[in-house]
């Protein structure tokens, strides 16, 4: 019998919205940042956003596990685990650029079944649950109908990352094979693919919380989100999002 995922989805939508509204209170206000061991920034808004999300989960679903960017893993071994990123794109957030998002996903028995990506500074939310479709601000979302890689719009975050993480040659081939390449996106790029405004988003390095919602969001929008070998997962330390039509062409170009 199919799971009733709607209560989880409704909870995730409301929780992401509340956290996003909290972060807006700090946005474009000259907030300071500390820097972690990997040189990534963290702000008070990141911490307060994750605290809000965790508090709501603990109250409503006390048996569920959580894996978040700022406060780590809890509830080890739980069948249901929430993946939390209170601000994906903190560098953008710090500079007052609106391409930052609140990401929240529910993993059940190892599979992402519910996902929400909310971009509060732009008023955009994309959400999905398995078998329920993908929605963008309340209307159905679907990937583009682009048939060929040579007409594909491609997004990425930091161009230096491709060489740094061993994907430099594949990235060069993809640049040559595609029509238009544009950066500065983080999670927003994956959302653009899900809503048909971009055809391919590439990340050579990823944590599970950075991409938690996208397997179910892309799946329900008619696309793919997973590793660079064609496996739907958030645990491969990398991610691409694209359409099912373009995926074989993308994988072939990566492996050439």
Locate 137 and state its tokens: 């601000």
Percent of the chain with pLDDT over 90: 90
Question: pLDDT tens digits, residue range 201-244?
Answer: 999 999 999 999 999 999 999 999 999 999 999 999 999 999 99
Query: What pLDDT does residue 118 have?
Result: 98
Domains and CATH numbers, the chain: 6-140 (3.30.540.10), 149-255 (3.40.190.80)
| Average model confidence (pLDDT) across the chain | 96
Place of tokens 């993480």: 165
Residue in 135, 67, 156, 142 with CA at minimum distance from that of residue 105: 67
The pTM (predicted TM-score) of the whole model is 0.96
How do beta strands 180-182 and 200-203 pair? unpaired
pLDDT category of residue 39 using cuts at 50, 70 and 90: confident
Q: Please write the tens of the pLDDT for every residue from 97-109.
A: 999 999 999 999 9
């Amino acid at each position: 019998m199919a799971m009733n995922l709607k209560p989880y989805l409704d909870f995730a939508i409301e929780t992401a919205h509340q956290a996003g509204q909290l972060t807006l209170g700090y946005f474009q206000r000259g907030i300071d940042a500390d820097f972690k061991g990997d040189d990534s920034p963290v702000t008070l808004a990141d911490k307060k956003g994750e605290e809000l999300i965790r508090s709501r989960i603990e109250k409503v679903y006390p048996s569920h596990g959580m894996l978040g960017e700022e406060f780590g893993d809890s509830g080890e071994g739980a069948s249901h685990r929430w993946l939390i990123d209170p601000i994906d794109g903190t560098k953008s957030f710090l500079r007052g650029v609106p391409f930052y998002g609140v990401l929240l996903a529910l993993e059940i028995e190892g599979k992402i079944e519910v996902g929400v990506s909310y971009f509060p500074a732009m008023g955009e939310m994309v959400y999905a649950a398995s078998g329920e479709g993908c929605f963008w601000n309340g209307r159905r979302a679907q990937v583009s109908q682009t048939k060929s890689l040579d007409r594909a719009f491609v997004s990425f975050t930091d161009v230096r990352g491709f060489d740094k993480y061993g994907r430099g040659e594949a990235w060069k081939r993809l640049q040559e094979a595609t029509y238009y390449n544009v950066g500065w996106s983080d999670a927003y790029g994956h959302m653009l693919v899900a809503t048909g405004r971009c055809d391919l988003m590439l990340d050579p390095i990823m944590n599970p919380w950075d991409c938690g919602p996208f397997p179910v969001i892309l799946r329900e929008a008619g696309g793919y989100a997973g590793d660079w070998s064609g496996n739907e997962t958030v645990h491969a330390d990398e991610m691409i999002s694209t359409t099912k039509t373009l995926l074989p062409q993308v994988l072939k170009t990566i492996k050439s």
